[in-house]
């Protein structure tokens, strides 16, 4: 009895210490909340997640509510409600209101958040994606749900845990098209191999075993982070999105002509799938080449502009040629008629091979001459080769009797009406190759570049010490695909400059670039027709993400093991998976693609021009962007996902639109899978409609655009088994639901 009384006394003293009585504490409290209340101020500085909004400190928490919850009471205390996942809500609690909050009726359990490690290192923080994921002062939290993220790339690992949901049970990969593998092609296409289900994908594993680029890119855009520290550290931007992978390896001729038909097919394939399931889509391409007119007029650019539209967005890397002198331009006049330069070759190639693409102005003309030089002595030459709509295969013999082979195509007016010369060079001679151009007026642009398998190779335009020869520059180095008008081209800045690998070795790029500065390799704009490109900048230096488990170079002893930062062993299959660091605009592009998926979740019908404008108007401009204020480097500035999401909601008529709960009807109900859903809205609005079974599985979901007034949507879902279902409508201003019964 004495022991029992002591326990009661102890409990009473505990209640006194937190200033409450048993009658007032209605909710069960998490252990960390109990410690917070018991330990007071010293505990306030450790172990809990706090955010500051308008100079007020909030505690982040998950709560479980009952049917008796009165949200108005919470709002009266200044509580910020985020996601409502059934009975589980996310909230931000003003710290001074915590004692009042725990007294509210209708709350079954309160779990204060504990700190987690920054996601994808620091990328999600510096792009403000973390605030979007938490839903801070937003109608809901955004994670890319009900948006398709398509990745066109190579080196995919279909089984990597990051492509599963956040609990590692459901593969989010919906379709795979291996364009270069034999098998059954997708409907409407005559090549490649399509994988339609999880079993086929996991059985196949990968389309290229010796490459990891696609897996890394996909993880940045949409990885769940499973297998990284806390299963969150390397979580992607749109971690609940659906995924479609297109494996590519474009032929040389596609790169050389800027046709890129296989990539256009990939874009179309992803958009077609998204349309078939009623979802918006963003497509990421982290590939590029310098060849093309760089003015958005190529066939690729035209086709891409035709494919994109509301809910169909294309994002790609700006390129990594920001330090290479692969561009040269000249404006001729009657008194300045000659341009001369020497062509160098990428030393990492085993042969002296490259392409030179030359574009002039409409209604102008120019001529080109090739000359070999042995030191300062000019040797064999072609003489002037003017535009004549022909293709010529020829050669020059050097001073040591070795040969420089070349193919030259000369066109009066190409598909865009511009005069054009394409030069393909393979040189076996030690002599230097001099290019001489002559014209009396107009401006010409020259670009150098070459593609072999998965890599780009770049020489430079050089003067070799001759004062009469011109030196190239790194301006206009985006490449034609990045100059596409409807595309969002992404530059790279350094969100961090160092990391520690699996061996415990710290590695740093601080001698190359400073934190928060534009990375020197990021390609320069503008476009040849002087539009601002790139559009925006995102983190692109030493970014950690998933890599292909079939690519042994990232495993112990491999050539890329130095870049590996996490090793995860799947507890079911015992297979090893890695996360590793990589750099390039290839990494900044998927960051923006994932952010675009968040915007499309907020408004599935945004057009490319809408998103371009939103990103521009909300871009972060700081002391670092003003160090190089030229928009040809940064675009509009650093991407700001949080401000962009708020802008999308406010500007495009979603934030204040209400759906009348009372008007939500399904009839007939019960039904046999064929029914009409009726609801009333105060204005045009985007909605997500889901049907959820009794065990919480989503069995049907689509995006719809409804109008002001009464809307009626017809459904024929006779494939659903009989049973009890919830019909859920998600809008940017909240969710509503009703019950439905299907009887066969």
CATH label of the domain that carries residue 546: 3.40.50.200
Q: Among 601, 630, 650, give the residue marking a domain's end.
A: 650
The reported pTM is 0.78
Task: Find the DSSP H helices in 258-372.
Answer: 261-276, 299-307
Q: Among 450, 473, 496, give the residue marking a domain's end.
A: 473
By the 10 Å C-beta count (0-12 exposed, 13-18 middle, 19+ buried), 491 is classed as: buried
pLDDT at 178 over 50: yes
Which residues on neighbouring strands pair with residue 92, listed in sequence order? 60, 80
Residue 310 in any domain: the answer is yes
Structural domain count of the chain: 4
End-to-end Cα separation, the chain, in angstroms:
63
Give the per-residue pLDDT at 123: 82
Q: Among 473, 493, 519, give the residue marking a domain's end.
A: 473
By the 10 Å C-beta count (0-12 exposed, 13-18 middle, 19+ buried), 410 is classed as: buried
Residue 679 in any domain: the answer is yes
One domain, residues 508 and 594: yes
One domain, residues 358 and 446: yes
Q: Which has more confidence, 68 or 281?
A: 281
311-355 confidence digits (pLDDT tens): 999 999 999 999 999 999 999 999 999 999 999 999 988 899 999
199-235 confidence digits (pLDDT tens): 999 999 999 898 899 999 999 999 999 988 778 889 9
CATH number, position 454: 2.60.120.1290
One domain, residues 146 and 262: yes
Residue 3 in any domain: the answer is no
Can the peptide bond before residue 498 be classed as cis, meaning omega within 30 degrees of 0? no
CATH number, position 728: 2.60.40.3080
| Longest CA–CA separation in the chain, Å | 112
One domain, residues 157 and 92: no
One domain, residues 97 and 235: no
Give the residue numbers spanning the domain of 336: 327-473
User: Do β-strands 390-397 and 403-411 pair in parallel, antiparallel, or remain unpaired?
Assistant: antiparallel
d(C-alpha 629, C-alpha 607), whole Å: 28
One domain, residues 160 and 92: no
Specify the range with the lowest mean pLDDT, choosing from 42-56, 179-193, 597-611, 720-734: 42-56
The H-or-E segment that residue 723 falls in is: strand 723-731
Q: Which has more confidence, 248 or 316?
A: 316
Residue 135 in any domain: the answer is no
One domain, residues 494 and 619: yes
One domain, residues 605 and 708: no
One domain, residues 491 and 599: yes
640-685 confidence digits (pLDDT tens): 999 999 888 875 544 445 667 777 889 999 999 999 998 888 777 7
CATH number, position 81: 3.30.70.80
Give the per-residue pLDDT at 469: 97
- For 35, phi then psi, to 5°, come to -65, -40
Give the per-residue pLDDT at 491: 96
d(C-alpha 4, C-alpha 20), whole Å: 21
pLDDT mean over 102-127: 68
One domain, residues 188 and 106: no
Give the per-residue pLDDT at 429: 95
One domain, residues 443 and 544: no
120-129 confidence digits (pLDDT tens): 456 888 898 8
Residue 309's pLDDT band, with cuts at 50, 70 and 90, is very high
pLDDT at 627 over 70: no
One domain, residues 338 and 467: yes
**CA–CA distance from 318 to each of 32, 257, 329, 385, 448 (Å)?**
46, 19, 20, 33, 16
Give the per-residue pLDDT at 724: 86
Residue 127 in any domain: the answer is no
User: Do β-strands 173-178 and 242-247 pair in parallel, antiparallel, or remain unpaired?
Assistant: parallel
């Amino acid at each position: 009895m004495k022991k029992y009384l002591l326990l009661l006394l102890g409990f009473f003293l505990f209640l006194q210490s937190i200033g409450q009585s048993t009658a007032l504490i209605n909710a069960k409290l998490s252990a960390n909340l109990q410690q917070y209340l018991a330990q007071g101020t010293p505990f306030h500085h450790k172990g809990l997640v706090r955010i500051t909004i308008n100079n007020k400190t909030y505690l982040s928490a998950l709560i479980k509510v009952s049917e008796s919850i009165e949200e108005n009471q919470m709002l009266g205390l200044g509580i910020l409600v985020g996601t409502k996942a059934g009975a589980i809500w996310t909230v931000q609690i003003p710290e001074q209101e915590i004692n009042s909050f725990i007294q509210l009726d209708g709350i079954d359990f309160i779990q204060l958040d504990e700190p987690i490690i920054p996601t994808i290192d620091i990328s999600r923080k510096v792009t403000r994606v973390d605030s979007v994921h938490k839903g801070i002062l937003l109608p809901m939290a955004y994670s890319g749900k009900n948006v398709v993220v398509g990745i066109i790339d190579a080196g995919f690992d279909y089984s990597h845990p990051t492509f599963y949901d956040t609990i590692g049970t459901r593969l989010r990969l919906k379709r795979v098209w291996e364009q270069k593998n034999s098998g059954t092609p997708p409907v409407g296409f005559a090549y490649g191999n399509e994988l339609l289900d999880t079993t086929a994908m996991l059985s196949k594993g990968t389309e290229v075993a010796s490459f990891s680029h696609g897996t890394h890119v996909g993880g940045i855009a949409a990885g769940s982070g499973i297998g990284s520290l806390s299963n969150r550290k390397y979580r992607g931007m749109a971690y609940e999105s659906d995924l479609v992978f297109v494996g590519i390896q474009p032929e040389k001729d596609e790169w050389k002509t800027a046709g890129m038909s296989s990539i256009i097919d990939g874009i179309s394939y992803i958009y077609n799938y998204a349309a078939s399931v009623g979802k918006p889509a963003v497509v990421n391409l982290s590939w590029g080449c310098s060849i093309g007119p760089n003015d958005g007029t190529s066939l690729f650019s035209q086709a891409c502009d035709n494919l994109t539209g509301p809910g169909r967005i294309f994002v790609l890397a700006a390129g990594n040629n920001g330090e290479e002198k692969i561009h040269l331009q000249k404006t001729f006049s009657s008194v300045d008629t000659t341009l001369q330069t020497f062509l160098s070759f990428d030393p990492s190639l085993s042969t002296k091979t490259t392409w030179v693409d030359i574009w002039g102005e409409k209604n102008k003309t120019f001529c080109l001459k090739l000359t070999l030089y042995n030191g300062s002595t000019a040797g064999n030459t072609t003489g002037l080769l003017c535009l004549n709509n022909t293709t010529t295969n020829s050669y020059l013999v050097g001073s040591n009797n070795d040969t420089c082979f070349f193919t030259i195509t000369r066109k009066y007016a190409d598909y865009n009406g511009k005069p054009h010369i394409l030069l393909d060079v393979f040189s076996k001679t030690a002599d230097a190759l001099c290019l001489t151009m002559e014209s009396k007026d107009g401006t010409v642009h020259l670009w150098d570049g070459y593609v072999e398998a998965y890599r780009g190779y770049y020489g430079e335009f050089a003067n070799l010490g001759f004062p009469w020869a011109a030196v190239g520059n790194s301006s206009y180095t985006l490449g034609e695909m990045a100059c596409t008008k409807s595309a969002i081209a992404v530059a790279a800045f350094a969100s961090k400059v160092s990391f520690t690998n699996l061996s415990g070795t710290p590695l740093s790029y601080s001698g190359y670039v400073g934190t928060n500065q534009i990375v020197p390799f990021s390609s320069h704009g503008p476009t040849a027709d002087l539009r601002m490109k790139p559009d925006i900048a995102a983190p692109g230096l030493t970014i950690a993400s998933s890599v292909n488990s079939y690519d042994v170079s990232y495993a112990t002893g491999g050539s890329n093991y130095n870049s590996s930062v996490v090793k995860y062993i799947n507890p079911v299959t015992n297979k090893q998976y890695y996360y590793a660091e990589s750099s390039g605009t290839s990494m900044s592009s998927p960051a923006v693609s994932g952010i675009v998926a968040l915007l499309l979740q907020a408004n599935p019908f945004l057009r490319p021009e809408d998103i371009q404008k939103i990103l521009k108007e909300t871009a972060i401009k700081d002391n670092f962007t003003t160090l190089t204020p030229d928009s040809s480097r940064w675009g509009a500035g650093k991407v700001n996902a949080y401000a962009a999401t708020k802008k999308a909601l406010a500007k495009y008529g979603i934030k204040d639109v209400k759906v009348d709960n009372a008007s939500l009807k399904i009839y007939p109900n019960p039904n046999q899978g064929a029914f009409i859903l009726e609801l009333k809205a105060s204005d045009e609005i985007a909605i997500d409609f889901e049907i959820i079974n009794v065990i919480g599985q989503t069995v049907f979901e689509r995006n719809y655009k409804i109008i002001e007034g009464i809307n009626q949507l017809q459904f024929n879902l006779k494939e659903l088994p009989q049973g009890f279902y919830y019909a859920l409508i998600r809008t940017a201003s909240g969710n509503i639901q009703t019950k439905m019964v299907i009887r066969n």
